[in-house]
Amino acid sequence: MKQTLLLFGLLLSLHADVNKYVLQKEDLTQGKYFIKFAACSDIENTRKIQLTTDFPTQIIHMRDYYSLISNEFQNRDKAKIAWKEIKKTHKDAYIFQLYKKQRSIKPLPTPLKLGTGLNKYQKAITLYNAKKYEEALMEFDMILIDTPNDLNAQIYYAKTLYKLSLFKEAKKEFKLLLQTPLDNHTKKEIQSYLTNIEKMRKRSFFNASVEIGIGHDDNINLTTNSKTTHYGPYTLINDTNKTDSTYGMASLSLAHRYIGNFFNIYSSLYNYNEFAHTADGNDLNFVDISSGIGKSYKNFTLFLPIGFNISYLDGDKIGYNLYTNPNLTYTINKALKAYVQTSYLNNTTKFSKNRDYSAVGGGFGIRYNIDKFKSVIGVNIQNFTAKKDLRFDINKEVLSTFANGKYYFTKRFYAGANLYFKKDSYSDLDEVMGYKREDKIVRYGLFTGQDISKNTMLNLQYQHTKNDSNVNAFSYEKNNYAVEYKYKF
C-alpha cells in the first residue's frame, strides 16, 4: 500500500459545521500541536468514531491504518488540556507536532517529502533512548512515510507504541514485522514483546504454587535458659531442657488478580501444614483467605483488603482471626516506593475465651527494587486489648521494625537476609511481681534459592530468634532450619 498522507477534508464540530482542510508539512519549529488517536484498519469504523467525537477531527491514512487527528492547538499546554479529556474515551491518544492546518480548496492530499532520513533516524533514536516516546513516535512516523520499508524504523516504531502503552497498535506492527525477513534474535525479541502485550491486555490472572519441605526447630517449646524465676516472694524452678523437633512442611497458594477499568481485585487462598513432628507427632494446619480492591491514581495506589484465617492443632480448632490492613502506596520513581498502612485484627481463641483480643495499629515503610536488588524496610505499631479483663498478659503495646533484602547473582540464583525487632510493653501490672512485663525479640535470618527450571525452585533458610524478657521464664533462644522445594503453575 502506498505510504502517503491522505486527507478526506471532513471536519465536524459540536454544531455539525463543515469546513474543508488540507494538511501540509511545515517546519517543526513553527508547527502546531495535534492529538492523534483512534487508529482503525477500516475507514468506515474511523468515520463512525469521528461522528461520536465532540471536537473537530480529521481522518488521515498513515501506513496501513486510518486514524483521527484533532484540530490544531497553538501551544502544548492547550493541547495537553484537550488530550486529558480525549484520553477518557480514547486511551490511545497522544500529542504530536508535525502538521499545520491550512484552509485550501485542493481536492487531493499533499504528499510528504522528508528528504534523507539519516538525521531524522538519529534524532528519533535519541528521543527514544531519552524516554521521550511521544516525540520519538512522531519522528519514526515521519521516517516511515518517506521510507516505508525501513525495517529498523518499523521495529522502533512498534517498540515506541509499546512504551506508550498503545498495545493494540503495537501488536499490529509487531505482527507485520514477523512477516518480513528478520534474523532469529530479532524474531525472538518481537515474540517476547507480543507475549508481554497479551499479559498486559489480559484482565484475569491466576497464579498457584505448591511447596514441600523439611524443617528443624531446636527449641520448639520456647524453653527458657534461666534455671529459676523469682515470682514475688516465690522462687520457681524452670525446666531448661530444650525440646528439638524435625518435621515435614507442605503449603498451597492460590491467587487471582482482575484488572478492571476503574479498579483491580486481588484474592488469595493460602494453606500451610506441619506434620510428623519427631518430638510429639503434632500436626499444625493454617488456612488464610483474603480479598481486596485496589485503585491507582497517578502515583498513588490504594488497597483495601479483608481476610480471615483459622488454625488447627491435631485436627482441633485453636482459633481464628478476622483482619484488614488498608494501605496507600506512593511511587516516587521506578525503583522507589513509600507506603503507609493501618491494621485491625479480631482474634478468637477456641480453647480459652479469656485469651480473646483485638488489635489496631498502623505503620509505614519503603520498598526499593532495582535491577538485581530488591528490599523493603518498615515500622509498625499495634495496641492489643483483651476482650475479657481476666488476664494481665494480653493488653500491650507492640513496636516492631523489619528489613528484608534479596540480591540476584544470576537470573536463577539469589541470596538474601532479613532482620526483625519487636518490643512488647504490657499494660497491666502483675501484682505479685510488682512490675509490668516487657519482652524484646530480635530475629534475623539468611536465605538462598536456586531456580531449577521455569516453574521449580529450591530454597534454603536459616533463622535465629532471641527473646529477652524482664520475666526470665519467658526469655528464650531458638534456631530454625528449612529446605523447601517449590513448584509454580
Lowest mean pLDDT among 18-32, 183-197, 286-300: 18-32
Q: Which of 45, 77, 112 is the last residue of a domain?
A: 112
Residue 19: the pLDDT is 30
Same domain, 96 and 214: no
**Is residue 81 one of the residues assigned to a domain?**
yes
Tell me, what's the pLDDT at 286? 94
For the record, the C-alpha cell of 449 comes out as 534459592
Residue 131 grid coordinates: 524516554
| φ, ψ of residue 29 in degrees (nearest 5) | -70, -20
Lowest mean pLDDT across 98-102, 219-223, 414-418, 459-463: 98-102
Within this chain, do residues 307 and 436 fall inside the same structural domain, yes or no? yes
Can you give the pLDDT at residue 212?
97
Average pLDDT of the chain is 82
Confidence grade of residue 247 (pLDDT, cut at 50, 70, 90): very high
**194: in domain:** no
Nearest to 420 by CA among 400, 406, 440: 400
pLDDT of residue 27: 34
445/307 same-domain check: yes
Q: What is the CATH number of the domain that holds 397?
A: 2.40.160.60
Is 77 in the same domain as 225? no
Q: Are residue 435 and residue 322 in the same domain, yes or no?
A: yes
Highest mean pLDDT among 126-135, 332-341, 382-391: 332-341
User: Residue 398 falls within a domain, yes or no?
Assistant: yes
**Is there a domain that residue 260 lies in?**
yes
pLDDT at 390: 65
Q: Say whether both 252 and 369 belong to one domain.
A: yes
Can you tell me the distance from the alpha carbon of 327 to that of 340, in angstroms, rounded to the nearest whole number?
A: 6
Last residue of one domain, picked from the residues 112, 146, 170: 112
pLDDT in tens, 396-419: 999 999 999 999 999 889 999 999
Domain of residue 331 covers: 204-488
- For the CA atoms of 225, 228, 230, 235, the dihedral, rounded to the nearest 10 degrees, stands at 160
Of all residues in the chain, what percent carry a pLDDT higher than 90? 39
Mean pLDDT to the nearest integer, 340-355: 89
Terminal CA-CA length for the chain: 45
Secondary structure (H, E, C), the chain: CCCCCEECCCCCCCCCCCCCEEEEECCHHHCCEEEEEEEECCHHHHHHHHHHCCCCEEEEEECCEEEEEECCECCHHHHHHHHHHHHHHCCCCEEEECEEEEECCCCCCCCCCCCCCHHHHHHHHHHHHCCCHHHHHHHHHHHHHHCCCCHHHHHHHHHHHHHCCCHHHHHHHHHHHCCCCCCHHHHHHHHHHHHHHHHHHCCEEEEEEEEEEEEEECCCCCCCCCCEEEECCEEEECCCCCCCEEEEEEEEEEEEEEECCCCEEEEEEEEEEEECCCCCCCCEEEEEEEEEEEEEECCEEEEEEEEEEEEEECCEEEEEEEEECCEEEEECCCCEEEEEEEEEEEEEECCCHHHCEEEEEEEEEEEEEECCEEEEEEEEEEEEEECCCCCCCCCEEEEEEEEEEEEECCCCEEEEEEEEEEEEEECCCECCCCECCEEEEEEEEEEEEEECCCCEEEEEEEEEEEEEECCHHHCEEEEEEEEEEEEEC
Domain membership flag for residue 197: no
- pLDDT, residue 219, reads 93
Q: Are both 334 and 463 inside the same structural domain?
A: yes
Regarding whether 227 and 366 lie in a shared domain, the answer is yes
> Which position has the higher pLDDT, 78 or 476?
476
Question: Lowest mean pLDDT: which of 9-18, 68-77, 246-255, 380-389?
Answer: 9-18
d(CA 391, CA 414): 45
Q: pLDDT, tens digit, for every residue of 212-234? A: 999 999 999 899 988 888 877 88
Residues 461 and 352 in one domain: yes
- Band (pLDDT 50/70/90 cuts) for residue 44 is confident
Residue 160 domain flag: no
Query: Domains in the chain: how many in total?
Result: 2
Q: Which of 78-87, 151-160, 359-368, 395-404 has the weakest average pLDDT?
A: 78-87
In a domain, 151, yes or no: no
Does this model's pTM top 0.85? no
CB 265 within 8 A of CB 293: yes
Out of 17-21, 210-214, 293-297, 471-475, least confident range: 17-21
Which residue would you say has higher pLDDT here, 127 or 18? 127
Q: Is 330 domain-assigned?
A: yes
From 63, 83, 112, give the residue that closes a domain.
112
